[in-house]
Structure 1
Amino acid sequence: MSSTGSCFDIGAATSDSLNEFEYRQQQFAAKHNIPIAQLDYLSDAGLLTKFPVKCSESGVAGNGALMRLTPVPLFFYRHPVHAVEYSGFSGMITHGDQKAYDACRYYGALIVAAVQGAEKEELLDNKFYETHLLWFNSIPLAPEIMKIAHGSYKQKGGYDAGIRGKGYIVNALEAALWAFWSEETFEKGALAAVNLGDDTDTTAAIYGQLAGAYYGYKKLPGKWIQHVYANRFLLGLSKWIAYEGEMWQPN
């Protein structure tokens, strides 16, 4: 979905992965004698598990993996272990670096905790990972992500203290968490994220996922909501994801 009717400003990593995905679809369809038009409706679990969805090259660690994360933890939030695991998988589809995988796992866990009603102090606790170790299947985070989880973003100086909203996923995660930590309302945090400069829209998008889960829809600025493209559709889609998540049960 695009506010202009066409795709724009897509990152190179995501674009490359989408092209690779389409190529694999064609190969998969030919191998299994499936019409291309039917691939999006494929429900055969056996066949689905055979499709290689991780379409990124290794070492790709851009912020695009984080900016689209929320539907995954929103769907699975009643099952935190699955939510964290699939959050990581969602990033690996387009960004093959371990740091991207772990940034998505950690941020997915924060979103799950926020949706479950955690207080801000718990979300920002430097020991959040350790106290939710079971959610992570006791699998450690990459050192760069663990440093953030242990509070590296808590810099009162913000930009002057080295916080940067750049395209590298480590910088982007740190910047989004700094904005969430440093301000007490959704609006002020979003402005803080944008005013860091650099990759402003993505930093704010990453911030908004956790902040939105924590503050809730009713505390979003009404003057902003009315200007969001297709806001009623997005609200309905969010409710649908949450509803489908209620129906889902692990095997």
Structure 2
Amino acid sequence: MLGMPVEGMQSDDLRQLYPDGLTIISDGKTALLPLGMNDAQPALAQLTDDGEMAIMLARTLAEQGKFDADAVLDAYKFWWNSPAFGYGPTAQKALERGYLDPDSQSNGGLMRISPLGIFGVNHDPTQVADWARQDSRLTHIHPVCQDSVAVFTVSIAHAIRTGCDGAALHRWIIDWAAESGIADSVIDALRHARDRKPFYPTDIGASDKPFNIPLRLWVLVALHNAFWQLLNVDSLEAGVVDTVMLGDDTDTTAAICGALMGAVYGREAVPAQWSDAVLNCRPHAEQPHVFKPRPDVFWPIDALALAERLVSA
């Protein structure tokens, strides 16, 4: 949500507009943007595709009390037909045409999966990883996508369950990944997170650029950034803000980073302005600055209650 109004902007441009960092959740009409960039943007704290898919996963898990891939797919299709906006090309192919792109390594499966990590707190990591892969395969079938989603989901569950700090989580997940047959490129991305600040090279976890997507959408870029922020900054706010200021796919990379850091730091670490904006967001047509009115099933006003239901499921 923090990165929504500036999605697609480059880091240098962002730093000119926000020399102290973008720290306030705003809407596309009130954000400090170049002329023409704020037309038809979503409302204050309104969920984009990342959050809307995540909240549909959360609602399905809470209602079912279990992970049911068919029910989750139905929820994603409901979202798609709502109609969805701001979606990625890989998800579009899967949900619109039923085509699962075998080459895409984009980040769309990673961006939505955090509710499964919360739900997985009371389950074995191997089971959580299997559920995560099943979810990824609904839209993103490449093995690197599946393994990235598995690692990320298991990390969230472990952090919430144990209360460990970022360094301990990083050590644990690398060991778990190595023992669990996770792809070398995914483990490399995790290892690089210790000391390599995220940007968009081709050597963070694989030697070749993934097919069919811009490099900024690569799942390994998002995974690497989330763990780098966890290991190298001292607060959730700082990690999410720095992620947004990297530019490009700002809403997705920030959502992924925020989910991981939230699992470690807890909800008390979320700035009050952010949480207030989210929990009071009702994007209906009568609200000011709402250019994408949405059904209330996509409103995040019950996000905390949903999280509590997932933990206790």
Q: TM-score range by the shorter chain?
A: 0.7 to 0.9
Report the equivalent of 2:106: 62
1:236 aligns with 2:305: yes
| Partners of 2:151 and 2:173 within 8 A in 1 | no
Structure 1's 239 and 58: CA in aligned 2 closer, same or farther, altered over 3 A? Answer: same
Task: Work out whether 1:118 is the aligned partner of 2:195.
Answer: no
**How far, CA to CA, are the matches of 1:176 and 1:120 in structure 2?**
11
Which residue of the other structure, out of 83, 92, 98, is the alignment partner of 1:15?
A: 92
Q: In the alignment, which residue of structure 2 is the partner of 1:48? A: none
- Structure 2 CA distance, aligned partners of 1:165 and 1:124? 24
Alpha carbons 1:59, 1:98 under 8 Å: kept? no
The amino acid that maps onto 2:170 is: L
Supply the distance in 2 between the matched residues of 1:156 and 1:107 (Cα, whole angstroms): 19
Alignment check: 8 A CA contact 2:117 2:157 kept: yes
In structure 2, what is the Cα distance between the partners aligned to 1:156 and 1:118? 22
Q: Distance in 1 between matches of 2:197 and 2:307?
A: 35
Cα distance in 2 for partners of 1:187, 1:175 equals 14
Question: How many correspondences in the alignment?
Answer: 204
Q: Cα–Cα, structure 1 residues 157 and 77, in superposed 2: closer, same or farther, change >3 Å?
A: closer
Q: Which runs of 5+ in 1 are unaligned?
A: 22-54, 246-251
Aligned-residue Cα RMSD (Å) equals: 2.6
TM-score, normalised with respect to structure 1: 0.73
The equivalent of 2:185 in structure 1 is 144
Q: 1:169 aligned to 2:209?
A: no
Instruction: Say which of 264, 269, 272 aligns to 1:214.
Output: 264
State the distance in 2 between where 1:16 and 1:208 align. Answer: 27
Please report how far the alpha carbon of residue 101 of structure 1 lies from its aligned counterpart in structure 2 after TM superposition.
Answer: 0.4
Residue aligning to 1:45: none
Is the 8 Å Cα contact of residues 57 and 96 (structure 1) preserved in structure 2? yes
Contact 1:166–1:198 (8 Å) recurs in 2:
yes
Structure 1 runs, 4 residues or longer, greater than 6 Å off? 160-165
Q: Deviations over 1:125-162 (max 9, x none)?
A: 2x6332x36xx8x431112101123x112235544988
Q: Is the 8 A contact 1:13 1:56 kept in 2?
A: yes
Please give the alpha-carbon distance, in whole angstroms, between the structure 1 residues aligned to 2:146 and 2:111: 13
| Deviation digits for residues 92-148 of structure 1 (CA, Å, limit 9, x no counterpart) | 2110100000001111121111111122221122x6332x36xx8x43111210112
Q: TM-score, normalised by structure 2?
A: 0.59
Question: Percent identity over the alignment?
Answer: 25
Aligned partners of 1:74 and 1:112 also within 8 Å:
yes
Contact 1:84–1:109 under 8 Å retained in 2: yes
The answer to whether the Cα contact below 8 Å between 1:65 and 1:94 also exists between their aligned partners in 2 is: yes
Residue of structure 2 in register with 1:194 after alignment:
244
Which position in structure 1 is the counterpart of 2:290? none
Residue 193 of structure 2 contacts residue 228 of structure 2 at CA under 8 Å; is this kept in 1?
yes
Q: Secondary structure at the match of 2:102?
A: coil
The CA distance in 2 between the partners of 1:160 and 1:209, in whole Å, is: 21
| AA aligned opposite 1:154 | R
Correspondence 1:179 to 2:215: no
Return the structure number with greater relative CO, CA threshold 8 A, min gap 6: 2
1:6-45 map, 5 Å: 7-20=84-97
* Structure 2, unaligned runs of 5 or more: 1-41, 48-81, 205-213, 282-298
The one-letter amino acid of 1:71's match is: P
